[in-house]
Amino acid sequence: MNVAVASEPTAAADLGAVFHLQREAARREISVAAAVRKDRLRRLLALVTDKTPDFEAAIDADFGHRSRHETRLAEAFVVESAIKHALRRLDRWMRPKRIATELPFWPGMNRLMPQPLGVVGVISPWNYPLQLTLAPVVGALAAGNRVMIKPSELSPHFAHLLASAVGERYAADEISVVVGGADVAQGFAALPFDHLVFTGSTRVGRLVAEAAARNLTPVTLELGGKSPAIVDRSADLAVAAQRIAYGKLLNAGQTCIAPDYVLCPRGQEESFAEHFFRAAHRLYGTDPQNPDYTAIVSDAHYDRLAALLAEAHDKGARSDARTSQAETWKRLRKFPPNLVFATTDAMRVRQEEIFGPILPIVPYESAAEAIAFVNARERPLALYWFGRDGAAREHVLRETVSGGVTVNDCLLHIAQENQPFGGVGASGMGAYHGEWGFRTFSKEKPVFYRPRASGTRLLHPPYGARFESLLALLRRVT
C-alpha cells in the first residue's frame, strides 16, 4: 500500500467552526438513545477492523519501521476489545442508579442519572497512535458525546488516514479529526470542550492543563514518568528478566508504561543481565533488520537516546548492549537494547523518562530501601513487582502510590477494561477504560424525588418549639 500524506492540514482558524458545529448538535440532542450510541460504536469497530492493514502500513511509514504484529496486537486488538466490552455493557451503564436515601428524607428517593457532557476533545500521541487515539473515543461515544480528535504531528500518515476513514463513516458533528502541527494543537487545547483528554509528556500536559483551565474544562491527563520494576529477592530471576525484557522492548521502549528502571537485589545485577539478554535475543535476535523490532520514531528521538547514554558514560556509568553492526542500527534508526549500571541521580537516565530501549539497573539492599527509592521520586504511571513472597508484595502495594500495577508481569493492567487506567500526580490525572471511561465522559446528575407527603415542611418557619424538637430528633437518628 502507498501511504500518501495530504498536503493541506486543517487550519487553526477552522477549529472553532468544527467545535461549534459539534456543540450545537450536542445541545440539540441532549438525550442520546442507546441505539444511537451503539450505532456509533459499531461504526468505529467496523472502521478499525476494515482499516487495520492500512493503519499498519501508515504507522510503519511514520516510524520508519514499526512491527505490524505489534500494531495489530497492542493497538487494533485492544481497541476492538474495548468497543466490544462497551457494546455488551452499555445498557446497564446507562440506567439511572438507585442511591440510598437517608432516614429524614424517607419516603423520598435518590437517583443518579448519567448524561452526555457534550463535546469531548482528544489530543493523542505518536507512540501508539491508534490505541491512544481511539480508546478514549470509545468511552466518549458510549457516554453519548461528540468527539474532536487531534492526532500527533509526528504520525502524519496515520493522522491523515484516520481523518479520511472517520470522514467516510461519521458526520462532522459526530466525530471530526483535525490534523496539523503545534499551532493547531495549541488552538485545539484552547477550545471550550466539555472534557479534554491529553496523552503525552508531563511537560506538554502542564501546558494543556493551563489552556483548559482558562475555560474551566475538566481534563484527563495520561502522562508518563519513570515506572519502576521491583525484583524482589523471592522472584524467579529468569522469569522476571524475560517479562521485563518484553515489557521494555515492545515498540522499542516507546511505551508510556514501559519499565523505566529495574530495582534489583544487590549482587544479582549481572545474573539479571544474563537472563535479560537471553530473553531479548530470543524475542528479537541481534540483527537490526529483524522485522519484529521497531524503529525509533524520528532522528531527534534517536539522538536524544544516544545523548542520554553518552552523558551516563561521561559521568561514570557502564552500559551493556551485546550487539554489533552499530552503523546498521543507526541507519535503520533502530536503537539496540542497553542495560545501564552504576547510575547516579546526577545522570539524565535517572531524571528523565527514557522512552526507548535503555534500562538502568539500580541495586538495593532491602525492600525498605527499594520503596524509599520509588517514593523519593514523582509518582509513576505504572509499577511492576516480581516475586513469590505475598507479604513482601502487599507491603510494596501499600507503601507506594502509582497509576497502576501489574504483579509478576509488565503492561497487562492497561488491558483490563474492568479497571480504570490513569496516572497520579506528575504521571497524570483522571482515568478511563470500560465503565470508568463512560463515567468520566458523563455528567452523573443526582436527582431527589420528593414524595407527596414529606415531613420537611415541619422545619419551615416560623421557628419555635416544634422546630427545636424535630431537629433534636433528627440529630439523634442520623
Confidence of residue 7 (pLDDT cuts 50, 70, 90): very low
274 vs 4, which has greater pLDDT?
274
183 with 38, same domain: the answer is yes
Q: What is the CATH number of the domain that holds 333?
A: 3.40.309.10
Strand partners, 262: 229, 361
Q: What is the pLDDT of residue 456?
A: 81
197 with 322, same domain: the answer is no
Q: What is the pLDDT of residue 2?
A: 38
Q: In this model, does residue 8 exceed pLDDT 60?
A: no
Q: What is the pLDDT of residue 14?
A: 87
- Taking only the tens place, the pLDDT of each residue in 322-380 is 999 999 999 999 999 999 999 999 999 999 999 999 999 999 999 999 999 999 999 99
User: What is the DSSP track for 83-109?
Assistant: HHHHHHHHHHHHSPEEE---GGGTT-E
In a domain, 369, yes or no: yes
Confidence of residue 13 (pLDDT cuts 50, 70, 90): low
Angle between helices 156-169 and 129-142 (to 10 degrees): 30
Q: Which range of residues forms the domain containing residue 294?
A: 228-417
In a domain, 474, yes or no: no
- Based on the structure, what is the number of domains in the chain? 2
Which residues are catalytically annotated?
Answer: 222, 256
Torsion of CA 133, 135, 138, 143, to 10 degrees: -100
* pTM score above 0.85: yes
User: What is the DSSP track for 239-297?
Assistant: HHHHHHHHHHHGGGG--TTS--EEEEETT-HHHHHHHHHHHHHHHH-S-TT-TTSPPPS
Whole-number average pLDDT of the chain: 95
173 with 269, same domain: the answer is no
In a domain, 464, yes or no: no
207 with 244, same domain: the answer is no
Q: What is the CATH number of the domain that holds 211?
A: 3.40.605.10
Confidence of residue 4 (pLDDT cuts 50, 70, 90): very low
In a domain, 329, yes or no: yes
Q: What is the pLDDT of residue 96?
A: 96
Confidence of residue 3 (pLDDT cuts 50, 70, 90): very low
CB count in 10 Å sphere of residue 213: 11
- Taking only the tens place, the pLDDT of each residue in 383-439 is 999 999 999 999 999 999 999 999 999 999 999 999 999 999 999 999 999 999 999
**How many whole angstroms separate alpha carbon 434 and alpha carbon 211?**
27
Query: What average pLDDT does this structure show over 185-214?
Result: 96
In a domain, 460, yes or no: no
**Which grid cell is 391?**
507479604
Confidence of residue 455 (pLDDT cuts 50, 70, 90): confident
Query: What average pLDDT does this structure show over 136-158?
Result: 97
Residue 201 near residue 226, CB atoms below 8 Å: no
